[in-house]
Amino acid sequence: MADIKQASFEECLQQLMNALEASLLEEAGAQLDELHPSEVAKLLEALPPKDRSLIWPRIKPRVQGEALKEVNEDVQTQLIDEMSVDALVKATEGLDTDDLADIVPNLPETAVHSLLLTLDYKHREHLKKVLTYPQDSAGGLMNTDFITVRSDVTVRTVIRYLRLLKEMPVDTDKVFVVDRNFNYLGSLHVSTLLTEEPEQAIMPLVSTEASKPILANTDEAVVATLFEQRNLISAPVVDEHNQLVGRITIDDVVDVIRDQAEHSVMSMVGLDEEEDVFAPIVQSTKRRSVWLGVNLITAFIAVSFIALFEATLEQKIALAILMPVVASMGGIAGTQTLILVTRGIATGRVTTANIKSLINKEVSVGILNGICWSVVIAVATFYWFDDVGLSVVIGIAIIVNLIVAAFFGAFLPLLLTKLKIDPALAGGVILTTITDVIGFVAFLGLAALVLN
């Protein structure tokens, strides 16, 4: 199977677009047949909508289903809208329960009904169970394809049972031990089964500490952190009554980590990580105009403070030249702290328990950076304008703004999180407004006092 590396992806995309431009649809379809579904999904996201529509029907149904769960939501919606009910059922009927649960909410009702009819009673009930949990929870991530054994058997019995199954679920590194009522008791690594004596009872071998279950309502970000901390390949999921309801595997957690990274980057500029890069012009304009409007409001707030010092600015034009330096230094310093703390909150390393220590540390960094760079900027200002008073004013303003930026960069993410506002989305705009206002007021206010 061909692999798309960063260098060869461009070549593969160019070949595909050339084939589509020449109307060689069969050749284009054959090219995609050689690729992994995730690679097909990446290519689909890189194609304009009209080219997706041309190539999509040429992709095998099995690959279509796998690709649908990989593409972003906007592209997924487009492709689903272009498929018949029969085509949707053929594409999705072979997917795992957790993957089906991700796609089903976006399917038309007729397709969902037809799809459910293709499932046996067991898989249908499993799918319904997964759909009862929020999509961004452990229950929404889990699949129901796992192996359980009773606690009162031997290693020989378990191995015989596994051989009768003929095939184990993907990423099975352990089997789960339950009692008669399906209460979770612990897990047993497959490697342990292969190395222990056949007559050994399994209960003494069961690992309870290393494989603590994850509650089904646990947020997916917490799940990702648990997998990272415990070096897990899979983990059991239980309900509030300790009933084993599913299993989360590492491939699903990798998707969560990737989505979190994309969300953090895109949210800082008010964009949705699920947005199609080739979304319609009007749709993209509407989405981005909201953020531009918010930015305009914050810009006018900053400008209104500048207007308070109009007389001072008229007397000394150098102030207008140097104002962006003060605002920019504060904005960069604050953003550094903001990103650090936001990431710390997301990974669980920053909480209300240690935020005071972190704020003290960041303010100390702000003081040291402020002193250091105020000297550099003051010297540069004196060399440029030959004005000692102006050099002193901008130096003090830099120190003040970097301290304020450090404080609010550390404090804002926790405050926004408490208010249930995404700090990655709103933190940057609020922080920039604060550092601009404080920077301008400190610089122009000191100038009004010292230079007049």
Q: How many CB atoms lie within 10 A of CB 170?
A: 11
174, with CB counted inside 10 A (0-12, 13-18, 19+), is buried
Cβ neighbours of residue 362 under 8 Å, at least 6 residues apart?
A: 337, 341, 406, 407, 409, 410
Q: How many CB atoms lie within 10 A of CB 18?
A: 12
281-450: in CATH 1.10.3720.10: no
Using only C-alpha atoms, the chain has a radius of gyration, in whole angstroms, of 29
Angle at 388 between CA 386 and CA 393, to 5 degrees: 120
In degrees and rounded to multiples of 5, residue 389 shows phi and psi of -60, -45
Residue 446 near residue 316, CB atoms below 8 Å: no
Q: Determine the pLDDT at residue 210.
A: 62
pLDDT of the chain along its 452 residues, tens only?
Answer: 445 444 377 788 888 888 888 888 888 888 888 888 888 888 898 888 898 999 999 888 888 888 898 888 888 888 988 888 888 888 888 788 778 888 888 888 888 888 888 877 777 887 888 888 888 899 988 988 899 999 889 999 999 999 998 888 888 889 999 998 899 999 999 988 889 898 999 988 887 666 789 999 999 988 988 888 888 889 999 999 999 999 999 988 888 887 776 666 665 555 555 566 666 777 767 766 776 777 778 778 877 888 788 777 777 888 888 888 998 899 899 888 988 888 888 777 788 888 889 899 999 999 999 999 999 999 999 999 888 989 999 999 999 999 999 999 999 988 988 888 878 777 888 898 899 999 989 998 898 888 76
Residue 259 near residue 72, CB atoms below 8 Å: no
H or E segment to which residue 65 belongs? helix 61-68
Q: What fold characterizes domain 148-267?
A: CBS-domain (3.10.580)
Coil vs helix vs strand at 16: helix
Cβ neighbours of residue 282 under 8 Å, at least 6 residues apart?
A: none
Q: How many CB atoms lie within 10 A of CB 402?
A: 29
Q: Determine the pLDDT at residue 93.
A: 80
Q: Determine the pLDDT at residue 117.
A: 81
Mean of all residue pLDDT scores within the chain:
84
Tokens 């069961």 belong to 206
Tokens 């009004």 belong to 448
14 vs 32: CA distance, rounded Å? 13
6-141: in CATH 1.25.60.10: yes
Which residue type is seen at 142? M
Dihedral (Cα; 96, 97, 102, 107), 10-degree rounding: 90
Asked, colleague to colleague, whether 6-141 and 281-450 share their fold, the answer is no
Q: Determine the pLDDT at residue 274.
A: 57
**DSSP, residue by residue, 388-447:** HHHHHHHHHHHHHHHHHHHHHHHHHHHHHHHTT--HHHHHHHHHHHHHHHHHHHHHHHHH
Q: Determine the pLDDT at residue 269.
A: 55
376 vs 373: CA distance, rounded Å? 5
Cβ neighbours of residue 54 under 8 Å, at least 6 residues apart?
A: 20, 25, 28
Give the bridge partners for 144, in sequence order.
Answer: none
Q: Determine the pLDDT at residue 268.
A: 57
pTM, rounded to two decimals: 0.68
Q: Determine the pLDDT at residue 2.
A: 46
**Domain parsing of the chain, residue ranges:** 6-141, 148-267, 281-450
Q: Each residue of 368-416: pLDDT tens digit?
A: 999 999 999 999 999 998 889 899 999 999 999 999 999 999 999 889 8
